[in-house]
A and B are shown apart, each in its own frame.
Chain A
Amino acid sequence: MVVSRTGSGRIASFLIYAALALIAIVCLLPLLNVLAVSLSGSQYATAGEVKLWPIGFTLSPYRFVIEKPEFLRSMGISLERVALGGLLNLALTVLTAYPLAKERGQFRYRSVYVWVFVFTMLFSGGLIPSYILIKELHMLDSIWALILPGALPVFNVILLLNFFRSLPKELSEAAHMDGAGHWKILWKLYVPLSAPALATISLFTIVGHWNAWFDGLIYMNSPQHYPLSSYLQTVIVNRDLNSLNLSQDMQVLRDLSDRTVKAAQIFLGALPILAVYPFLQRFFMTGIVMGSVKE
């Protein structure tokens, strides 16, 4: 867009920059506040003196949290979930997207399959029937209850099939001429060509699995099977649980408070997301996701 070089234009520019800076800062303030609390001495945090900079800097809340066996155990379950769930999601997404990306002439049953899959995005059995199903399959308390129900992310299939469709048709036609079958074309042609799309989808799946908390809460009867997000839900948000057992521990460690320990847990829970965030951003900025969504 063309900028006019008048005085009023310059004032408008300044106001726009100021407004955006303000919005970004306001957006970030809550996170900075909690980060500062997590790094502060308990007496300052409890007294409400900590704003955006730690007072009485200490790492002991973090030390306390990472030494808690429940925290470590649930972190392990989350990592296992992300690895198994992510791989399964990716494999099924690729396998499903390829046939559905074909034109109807090449694959006559395409639209039947598409509807079978897409209908699951529009309608669901709901919470209780899903719970009863998992229970009847004897999957309660098993990590598979967190992985198998969402094994095929239909939305990602749509993203990927749109990406497959944007690849030049001449490629697969030429490969067919040379005698390559569908499996070979998928594996040797489509998968390598869609590496950026697959990377984006994997990152989104990883974030999804890491963040998921509700299924752990309902499908795991005993807290020792909770993934990290479910565990954090019970200790940070569910105010009346677990805080009892925390205050007992705290008599031993006097420089800790409920508030600083919660803040430290919030940050440790968000840390993996913050770590993959730069990669995530690079991918969705370059457009695959928006391109496919908006098509």
Chain B
Amino acid sequence: MRIPQRVRELPLHLMLLPGLLFVLVFSYGPMVGIAMAFQKFSVTKGLFGSDWIGMDNFRYVFSLPNTAGVIRNTILIAVMKMVAGLIAPIAMSLLLNEVRLRSFKRIVQTVVYLPHFLSWVILSGILLDVLSPTSGLLNDALASVGIPRVNFLGNERWFPFVLVGTDVWKEFGFGTIVYLAALTGINPALYEAAVMDGASRWQQTLRITLPGILPVVVLMSTLSLGNILNAGFDQVFNLYGPVVYSTGDILDTYVYRLGLVDFQFGVATAVGLFKSAVSLLLIASSYGLAYRFANYRIF
């Protein structure tokens, strides 16, 4: 007896139903709320009663003196993180690849992966202590060799670099996973042949290892393009303060303060929409590129 496909597919629809409902309410629901960006939104009137004001919120926010700086900070911090976040894991995996002592390799990996799993609340708590200008470990060490103390988190010139450095600290170890996986795919016969030809270790790295992982490097850098407006809310929010707003304030923290501190819901939604829309465009193009050049698909 032949059961029609419609009937056979029914359980599959049923399985998807709960997840679909959650996604519709909690992910697509807020997308409806984006309408606020075009309203003079008031909580009492609600989404359906507030007055429509077209692009006024956008015009207003782009006329604010801080907005251009915030966008500049966001891009600058994000790009620096993207570059550092690409180079550090690659260098680290090349180093790890040279290690033959398995136990040593394992210990190093265990240590450097750990910060990835701790939240920015915990890590910021640690950094506030360690980077403190008066009693922090780093400044004590600097002072002991005669370098003047630096207020890393309270100095607008230093702050973006502290963000990049601490982000590398959190993620560079875990970032090696992809490259280490790619390294296992390199044919060992290539190295044997190279040794026969008298290639040094450095030459082997340069001529075999690096080209071997190049496709993954290209893929990872392409995919990271989608993050140009993601400077890392969790990290910045837990480390910044009004003294470093000029170089450390980013779009996400700006939205937070406009919306949930100043209660300018419409304006904050407009900034958020600007960020999401540009990000969507970037992600779509980076995935498009990755698909075309690396034949990469996530599902």
* CB nearest to B268 among chain A residues: A128
Chain B residues contacting A186 (CB-CB under 8 Å) are: 15
* CB nearest to A235 among chain B residues: B125
Judging by beta carbons under 8 Å apart, are A127 and B268 in contact? yes
Report the separation of the CA atoms of residues A54 and B204 in the bound assembly, to the nearest whole angstrom. Answer: 46
Name the distance in Å between B251's Cβ and chain A's nearest Cβ. Answer: 10
Q: Chain B contact residues: over half helix, strand or loop, or mixed?
A: helix
Asked if A96 is at the interface (CB within 8 A of a chain B CB), the reply is yes
Report the separation of the CA atoms of residues A294 and B181 in the bound assembly, to the nearest whole angstrom. Answer: 8
Given that A182-B15, A294-B216 are contacting pairs, would A126 and B9 also be in contact in the complex, using a CB cutoff of 8 Å? no
Judging by beta carbons under 8 Å apart, are B26 and A133 in contact? yes
Asked if B259 is at the interface (CB within 8 A of a chain A CB), the reply is yes
Asked if B95 is at the interface (CB within 8 A of a chain A CB), the reply is yes
Judging by beta carbons under 8 Å apart, are A1 and B126 in contact? no
Judging by beta carbons under 8 Å apart, are B117 and A33 in contact? no
Given that A123-B31, A127-B256, A133-B29 are contacting pairs, would A20 and B108 also be in contact in the complex, using a CB cutoff of 8 Å? yes
Judging by beta carbons under 8 Å apart, are B34 and A125 in contact? yes
A51-74 CB mask vs B (1 if < 8 Å, else 0) is 100000000000000000000000
Judging by beta carbons under 8 Å apart, are B23 and A158 in contact? no
Given that A2-B192, A24-B108, A129-B34 are contacting pairs, would A117 and B19 also be in contact in the complex, using a CB cutoff of 8 Å? yes
Report the separation of the CA atoms of residues A123 and B283 in the bound assembly, to the nearest whole angstrom. Answer: 9
Name the distance in Å between A211's Cβ and chain B's nearest Cβ. Answer: 4
Interface residues of A in 97-139 (CB under 8 A from B): 98-100, 102, 106-109, 113-114, 116-118, 120, 122-133, 135-136
Judging by beta carbons under 8 Å apart, are A113 and B16 in contact? yes
Judging by beta carbons under 8 Å apart, are A37 and B129 in contact? yes
Residues of B within 8 A of A (CB): 5, 9, 11-13, 15-16, 18-20, 22-23, 25-34, 36, 43, 46-47, 92, 95-101, 104, 107-115, 117-119, 121-122, 124-130, 134-135, 137, 140, 169, 173, 177-178, 181-182, 188, 191-192, 194-195, 200-202, 204, 209, 216, 233-234, 237-238, 252, 255-256, 259-260, 265, 268-269, 272-273, 275-276, 279-280, 283-284, 298-299
6 A-B contacts, Cβ less than 8 Å apart? A1-B97, A34-B126, A132-B47, A218-B260, A237-B128, A281-B110
